[in-house]
Structure 1
Amino acid sequence: MAKILSTDTSNYSRKERGETKIQDEEWQKIADALEVPVKDIKDNDTKFSINNDNTTFQDNSGNYNQYFNIPNSIVENLQDYIILLKKEIESLKQELKNK
């Protein structure tokens, strides 16, 4: 999933835990990868808000950033997909071994 979002795995992991906001474009990429509508996977409830008192960047982003959790249904779908991929890898290894 990190590759699909063009990010590293640690950043994706932070998104999954709700520590980093998932941008709308990223929600679309996730939905496309899972072949589901964005509305089925996007969790509109905020996990928490963080007060952004760091004015170093002066990005005018406001005082609060909202972060979203990845719904459990996505995580479960990805876990199922990983299991399927592992089975496919084993099948391909066996096929290569038999040649």
Structure 2
Amino acid sequence: MALGVLDTLVDLHALEPAAVGLGAFGRTEGFLERQLSCWQEQLVASHSRPVAGAAELHGRLARTLSASPSPTVVHGDYRLGSTLVGEDGRIRAVLAWEM
């Protein structure tokens, strides 16, 4: 079953968003920039003590950030509990509870 969960995630990521009706869904540009900004905001919000090298790391990441990859379908909370499994142990559906 674990391999089925992994194989299903690989299949999910291989989908072309436009091919499954999701071409206009979400923000397809600037993903990595948004992630880096989000991580910085989370660090600042949770600061309870100095973290050596954090500012330097953020600066280095910002200077060397790659171009964002092509959009793909992802599941932000993927795990066995986000799937429906058939009696044969095969993954039959992937669920997104927050949707």
TM-score norm. by structure 1 comes to: 0.31
Indicate the structure with greater strand content.
Answer: 1
User: Which is bigger in relative contact order (C-alpha 8 A, separation at least 6)?
Assistant: 2
